[in-house]
Structure 1
Amino acid sequence: MGHRMSPGTAGFLRSGRGWRPLAVLAALTFLLALFPADAPPAAPSGPDAPGPVERRVLILCNTATQNPLTNTLAYHGFQTVLNYLGLVAVSFDLAERPLPGPEEMRDVRAVIVSLNTSEVYRAGEYHEWLHRQLDAGRKLVVLDSLGPGEALETPEGTARFLELYERLGVRYKAGPVKDRSRLRFTTLDPAMTGYERKHPSHPSHYEHITPLRPDVRVHVGVSTDRPEDGESPMVFTSDTGGVIFGNEFAYWLDPLSTRSKWYIDPFVFMARALDLPVYPVPDPTTLNGRRVAFSHVDADGFSGVSLIDRTRTCAAVLSDEVLSKVDFPVSFSVIEAEISPDFFGNAKLMDTARDILALPNVEPASHTFSHPFFWNPGNKDQVRYTDRFAFDIPGYALDPWREIAGSVDFVNNNLVPEGKRCRLLFWSGACDPLPEHQAIARDNGLLAINGGDTLWDAAHDSLFGVKPLHRHLGGGLHQIHIGQANDNILTNLWRGPFNGYRNIIETFKRTGSPRRLKPIDIYYHVFSTEKLGGLNALKEVYAWVAAQPVAPLFTSAYVQSVQDWMDVHLERLGPDLFSVADYGLSLTLRLPADGPAPDMSRCENVLGYDRQPEGLYVHLAPGQKRAVLALAAKDDAPAGAPFLRAASGYVRDWTVTERVLTFTTQFFTRNGKVTLGGLRPGVVYWASGPALGGRSVGRAASEEGTVSLEGLASGALTLRFP
């Protein structure tokens, strides 16, 4: 729906530089005298006060002004940061009503306003809603325009709108200055600015903004050539939130490539604006101290002839040269219409699919029935495609159930061996499912992934290229994103260089350190084996990943862990004590690398921890509803007791008695690895059990009190203490 602005709001129209008060500025001084700023908010009860840790943030977008969630700075710039900070981003479209009520706002820590114009439908109602969120103690973060809308038609509406800024800690006093020759930066906080690129020599504009409280922290300040104007905080944070007065103060947009680079440090900005305490951050990128790694294959090109061997299909070459040889779990998909004899396939293609899905390291998946190139009929990028579907089936129109649940049924009824079931769907084409499409997957017990291509390398040299873990679709529905981009992107839509996928290794590295932002995802299409360069690139990527300290999983396990990550309920029980409930397969908590370690004697359902440069990772026991994490005093060494330092798979049934440690492992490679800590240096410990193939192995603990075991299978393991 669209909503026409009234003439009274025309003075606040903007052109990508925040709102511009023009028509009403003469009256502001009088109005602000009538409506004084709120007093500073009451002091919080303290970061160590008991209570729930609120993990949701609400992003406000506005489709009425062509500003859906994916077009907002909050999503394409900040959501990756929010996810890293342990926060789940949900969204609301201001073109809709009613606005979220108290129950919908439960567990919401902050509201982030991310609009692209000043126009807002029923703005007065929206402003009063924002006041109620501030009254409830939620933070307010404004990225560019707060959205005055038609509220400026009356003195009362104008005052209530400006009061929102006052509650954030600032007040307007004068109009804008756009002559860049008259402007200069007078504050560039070194802790906040110069993150990927330095600010230009002259600011783009000036707004006369005056801090009202001592808690206003100016990160980017601009002044004019008139000293009496004073410095304006164009980027600031305060005890009630933060504001960026114009996105051009936050990042640079390359006019040629349209790619962006940060001026400010988005991690520092959000942590300060949201006033985040130090808390154990749920982190789905890691399992038992190791970076999660998975691999999934889109079926495109399955039936194509490989130019490596023209007697075989690309699928057959991939099976023989990669899938049957790598010691790595791979989730492999098919497109029903491509291989089914009822459409464009034949019996031989069906047999090839059966052979691949029977491999012990392969998990079955569907890449839909007809491979729609776009799911959302409103997708503006659909002009790139000559048809709606990759396979032109006479008389067929998009049937979402047929594409999703129906195609999974085809895999289960025709292709999988006994003991395997397909419950995984890979979105196709633009990977732009609507809420009703994700609901079909959910209601049929399916897990779905794709979308969110991440690239961060020399050619895409910005954090902006790292996509979030998920995209909120509405209600409780979220699209789970991939780890990194695929071969199609790195080979210029398979036009070459055909070995281009090897360059994904650089993105793997950058998204893993110094901050572990994403898991590793070896994601490609079957058509990579059409060319020798594509095949060699796959082999190189698998070999590189195998040499890293990773926890290889099937794709379904990763998707489930992200869904569970959204539902984790954290509660602070005391200064060093936390409850973690409903965590499912989201089994990792991250703390600062230099922070205190867990006190294992006071923890419940905590297997152990590992201190790494990227953080201190705490491992939770699977299959439990609740864990309790107790931290040792900062200067105290944790009490000595055996604990899990790291493992390349799942660890269950952890039991420690006076002389024996027992647990069960589940690995998805033939070379499972476990490292145990809290042991006596130099002492020999003996391990045995089915995980060692019935063997007994003795290992002397290192100087750090650790013992490492490799070549493990899934099964029980016993460690005996001397």
Structure 2
Amino acid sequence: MRLGSLLHRLAVLLILAAALLPAAARAAERGAVPRTILALVDLREEGIVRRTRIHTMAEMPLNHLGLTVAYWNVADGLPDLSRYPDLRGVVTWFTNEPFADPQAYIAWASAAMDRGLRFAVLGQAGVRGRSNGQTVPLALSNRFFARFGLRDDDGYVDLTYRARPVVSDAMVGYERPLIGVLPGFALYRKTDGRYDSHLVIRRNGDEATDTHLVVTGPNGGFAYSGYVRHYDAELNRSLWILDPFAFFRTVFATDDLPKPDVTTLSGRRIYFSHIDGDGWRNVTEVEPYNKDPNNKGGVIAADVVRREAIEAFPDLPVTVAPIVGDVHADWKGTAETRGAASRLFALPQVEPASHTWTHPFRWSFFADYTPQKEAVFNERADDAPRRGYFDELLGRRKATAPGHEAVGEVSDIGRYSIPRAYLERPFDLDQEIGGALDYFTRMAPEGKKAVLVQWPGDTSPFSAAVAATRKAGARNMNGGDSRFDAEFPSITAVPPIGLPVGTERQIYSGNSNENTYTDLWTNRFFGFQNLINTVRNTDSPLRLKPFNIYYHMYSGQKTASVQALRRNLTAAREAEIAPVMASTYAAIADGFYATRFVPDGERRWRVTDRGDLNTLRFDRASFTAVDLNRSTGVLGQRHHQGSLYVALDPAVAEPVVALGETARADNDPPADRPYLVQGRWAFSGLVVDGGGFRVGAQGYGRGEMAWHVPEPGRYAITAERGGTVLWQSEAEVGADRRLNVAIDAAAIRPLTLRVQRTSR
């Protein structure tokens, strides 16, 4: 048995060595800083990736630290690491024993650590037993725990009233302190002084009983189950006990990693707004529109939203995504609903997008679609043209049809009574995605194109649906439903940037829409005004999300919902933001996953494959600044919350960012050439010209901006387009070298700014 076991382990190690060497070779060849964390999940327990603990809780902090996450289902065996050339480490969060052969997993993990991969082990380690319930020899499981400086003493304490933390540093008690009766715990003794203990529990005041439950060190970190999060079953809420940012930052050594940032542009917080077309044709109850003598049938919600929330805020861009079925003459569209779309698309601050052709509710229903599968629902299709959205499209019961109660396909649409809003014709994925985008592009004025699909229904598209957006040359977004407020008082309700869907990726919206504030549009129609709490909490003390106002057209139906919407828009108008279209944010988010950093000297990186992402962040950088003399393609820099935000020039395909030191963080770092500190607009193509510069600019609203210039004095500023001066002024720059400008010129169409020093 011993010889067989030895030969088995040797075989596993040889396989692993063969798998790991190509990955290491490719990483060395590319020279890129590894950013990918491989998440091992057990989908036999957690079902699908979007519901796993790692995706719902851990991935957002990992994204914030500049890391991407790839998922592997351990039910399919152990992964071939040669598939992940960009690998930085591994994260696990098991609650059971998922491995039929823990010995093979321990050998696999040990070989990975020997190659320099670091492990973050949350909850159960998965090495104390087999998936069939058989125990594992302690000597075997301790080979794994030894990698984290621990020894499992094969004991468990469930009566903890005499147990107290004797070490509990800032990594513990993040959202919930260790108060009251402590959770039960296994006994882990520390055996390696290279590891730091962040939580040590002692029983009966006896040092000999110390158990180490949160540790970090050379191979990564371990945080024991019960001390990672607190779950309140009554409220169905989780709170972090462990500080995930500190834990993952330490485990994966991210302090010196440049972080692609999707929250900030031109040194300001990104703002975008997008509207799903649901409720487009609902009749409004809002005065005075509900008494319009010229429209005896009533004014539709889409027109109310246009007048109250879009035309009234021309400085705030918005992406509008109707449903084709609501406007097309061959479906449920009318001259009124089509006119509403045309009037919206004609506004300069409006971007056309698509909420699909027939509004699928349960996307998984269509992954293996046949017309016969859907035929039983046809009698549920509602021909009433003007009913409330949730009366018309959603059901309160699980779907059944007479004589079909036992048909599995019928019941597999969750809370929805029909699988999509419009059932008149068979489902066609190409029409649903590309066809809808083309339709709205044709409706829009020349020069505007619909390039964003906003997922409807359960916002859980299957892989082919996401692939169809790429095929159509478009981006995709929705899902996530970020909340962080009194009702959802934890970052566990703040999702990551996106979700892997097969080989594709779904991009989540920045915030939740009004559904979650109004109990699925059944009451508290004023509730969406509480969005501002999530907006504040996701900006401080850490900027975790952009400022996103996301809603549906039925917000134009109720007086309270219109007022709530206008409050949010007013708050956006008063905030320091950089407004962009929703498709721009989706492109920035896609860039997060693609960006690569190639080291190019001391604290210097070449940035490749970033797409539309134009901001990098360096954390713990109060006394760090960009060394502009060693950098290329850098527009500017700004310190915020202890981090350094670096603005990249979109005109430079592969910028180089080099860091140096600065004496203080409360002043702009000195430099001998101009650079952007912050601005409302987006900038591109910076050219330094003697004592001044020129740069392209595009944006929404008044062009507020601040530039650092090398010398004080008087500066002339002009905004021009095609050789025509649109605006000009002068500004005095003092000893702080800060040039503050507010340009009164429309920049939705790009223009050129010229800044020239005229006198000392």
- TM-score bracket, normalised by the shorter chain, equals 0.7 to 0.9
Q: Which amino acid aligns with 2:487?
A: A
232-241 vs 626-635, which moves further: 626-635
* Other-structure match for 1:533: 560
Of 122, 127, 147, the residue aligned with 2:106 is 127
Of 649, 659, 678, the residue aligned with 1:621 is 649
Alignment of 1:7-406 (within 5 A): 52-97=32-77, 99-102=79-82, 104-120=83-99, 123-148=102-127, 150=130, 159-189=139-169, 191-225=170-204, 227=206, 230-246=209-225, 248-308=226-286, 309-310=289-290, 311-326=298-313, 327-377=315-365, 382-391=413-422, 393-394=423-424, 396=426, 398-406=427-435
CA gap 1:641/1:161 in 2 versus in 1, 3 angstroms: same
Aligned to 1:256, the other structure's residue is in SS state: coil
What does the per-residue CA deviation read over 1:200-227, in whole Å, with 9 as the maximum and x for residues that have no partner?
3332223121212112211122233494
CA gap 1:499/1:226 in 2 versus in 1, 3 angstroms: closer
Q: Are the aligned partners of 2:633 and 2:648 in contact in 1 as well (CA < 8 Å)? A: yes
| CA shift for structure 1 position 316 | 1.2
The answer to whether structure 1 residue 463 and structure 2 residue 491 are counterparts is yes
Q: Are the aligned partners of 1:152 and 1:158 in contact in 2 as well (CA < 8 Å)? A: no
Q: Are the aligned partners of 2:130 and 2:136 in contact in 1 as well (CA < 8 Å)? A: no
The answer to whether structure 1 residue 515 and structure 2 residue 542 are counterparts is yes
Aligned to 1:92, the other structure's residue is in SS state: strand
| CA shift for structure 1 position 459 | 1.9
Alignment of 1:429-444 (within 5 A): 429-444=457-472
Aligned to 1:689, the other structure's residue is in SS state: strand
Distance 2:576 2:412 in 1: 39
Residue identity over aligned pairs, in percent, reads 28
| CA shift for structure 1 position 400 | 3.2
Aligned to 1:574, the other structure's residue is in SS state: coil
Aligned to 1:551, the other structure's residue is in SS state: strand
* Other-structure match for 1:716: 752
User: Aligned pairs, how many?
Assistant: 664
The answer to whether structure 1 residue 707 and structure 2 residue 686 are counterparts is no
| CA shift for structure 1 position 124 | 4.3
* Other-structure match for 2:509: 482
* Other-structure match for 2:701: 670
What does the per-residue CA deviation read over 1:428-478, in whole Å, with 9 as the maximum and x for residues that have no partner?
111111222211212221110000011111222111121111112233x22
* Other-structure match for 1:545: 572
Distance 2:330 2:702 in 1: 41
Q: Which amino acid aligns with 2:277?
A: A
| CA shift for structure 1 position 571 | 2.6
CA gap 1:223/1:607 in 2 versus in 1, 3 angstroms: same
Distance 1:343 1:155 in 2: 62
Aligned to 1:451, the other structure's residue is in SS state: coil
* Other-structure match for 1:28: none
* Other-structure match for 1:608: 636
Distance 1:500 1:539 in 2: 12
Aligned to 1:142, the other structure's residue is in SS state: strand
The answer to whether structure 1 residue 646 and structure 2 residue 660 are counterparts is no
| CA shift for structure 1 position 386 | 1.9
Aligned to 1:231, the other structure's residue is in SS state: strand
Q: Are the aligned partners of 2:97 and 2:130 in contact in 1 as well (CA < 8 Å)? A: no
Taking only aligned residues, the RMSD between alpha carbons, in angstroms, comes to 2.5
Of 496, 517, 522, the residue aligned with 1:495 is 522
Q: Are the aligned partners of 1:110 and 1:138 in contact in 2 as well (CA < 8 Å)? A: yes
Distance 1:527 1:611 in 2: 40
310-319 vs 143-152, which moves further: 143-152
Aligned to 1:181, the other structure's residue is in SS state: coil
The answer to whether structure 1 residue 685 and structure 2 residue 715 are counterparts is yes
What does the per-residue CA deviation read over 1:278-319, in whole Å, with 9 as the maximum and x for residues that have no partner?
233211110110110000001000011011123210011112
| CA shift for structure 1 position 656 | 0.8
| CA shift for structure 1 position 512 | 1.1
Q: Which amino acid aligns with 1:526?
A: M
* Other-structure match for 1:42: none
What does the per-residue CA deviation read over 1:238-284, in whole Å, with 9 as the maximum and x for residues that have no partner?
111111221x2122212321111222211111111212232332111
Distance 1:65 1:332 in 2: 39
CA gap 1:166/1:420 in 2 versus in 1, 3 angstroms: same
Aligned to 1:83, the other structure's residue is in SS state: helix
| CA shift for structure 1 position 108 | 1.1
Q: Which amino acid aligns with 1:315?
A: A
| CA shift for structure 1 position 601 | 2.0
* Other-structure match for 1:424: 452
Distance 2:131 2:487 in 1: 45
CA gap 1:121/1:323 in 2 versus in 1, 3 angstroms: farther
| CA shift for structure 1 position 55 | 1.2
Gap runs ≥5 in structure 1: 1-49
The answer to whether structure 1 residue 449 and structure 2 residue 477 are counterparts is yes
CA gap 1:654/1:448 in 2 versus in 1, 3 angstroms: same
578-587 vs 219-228, which moves further: 219-228
Aligned to 1:53, the other structure's residue is in SS state: coil
| CA shift for structure 1 position 480 | 0.6
Distance 2:420 2:612 in 1: 35
Q: Which amino acid aligns with 2:420?
A: F
Distance 2:754 2:507 in 1: 37
Distance 1:621 1:478 in 2: 26
| CA shift for structure 1 position 688 | 1.6
Q: Which amino acid aligns with 1:74?
A: I
Aligned to 2:353, the other structure's residue is in SS state: strand
| CA shift for structure 1 position 518 | 0.4
CA gap 1:634/1:318 in 2 versus in 1, 3 angstroms: closer
Distance 1:86 1:689 in 2: 36
After the TM superposition, which segments of 4 or more aligned residues of structure 1 sit over 6 Å from their partners?
A: 151-158, 378-381
Q: Which amino acid aligns with 2:301?
A: C
Distance 1:679 1:701 in 2: 10
CA gap 1:716/1:201 in 2 versus in 1, 3 angstroms: same
Distance 1:500 1:381 in 2: 31
Q: Are the aligned partners of 1:567 and 1:582 in contact in 2 as well (CA < 8 Å)? A: yes
CA gap 1:337/1:158 in 2 versus in 1, 3 angstroms: farther
Distance 1:489 1:502 in 2: 12
Distance 2:132 2:356 in 1: 50
| CA shift for structure 1 position 593 | 4.6
Question: TM-score when scaled to structure 2?
Answer: 0.83
Q: Which amino acid aligns with 2:592?
A: W
The answer to whether structure 1 residue 655 and structure 2 residue 687 are counterparts is yes
Distance 2:79 2:604 in 1: 36
Q: Are the aligned partners of 1:598 and 1:638 in contact in 2 as well (CA < 8 Å)? A: no
CA gap 1:365/1:201 in 2 versus in 1, 3 angstroms: same
Q: Are the aligned partners of 1:184 and 1:202 in contact in 2 as well (CA < 8 Å)? A: no
CA gap 1:110/1:98 in 2 versus in 1, 3 angstroms: closer
* Other-structure match for 1:17: none
What does the per-residue CA deviation read over 1:115-147, in whole Å, with 9 as the maximum and x for residues that have no partner?
232123554444333223212101111111222
Distance 1:352 1:616 in 2: 44
Q: Are the aligned partners of 2:106 and 2:143 in contact in 1 as well (CA < 8 Å)? A: no
Aligned to 2:532, the other structure's residue is in SS state: helix
The answer to whether structure 1 residue 697 and structure 2 residue 733 are counterparts is no
Q: Which amino acid aligns with 1:319?
A: R
| CA shift for structure 1 position 700 | 0.4
Distance 2:328 2:472 in 1: 22
Q: Which amino acid aligns with 1:255?
A: A
Aligned to 1:631, the other structure's residue is in SS state: strand
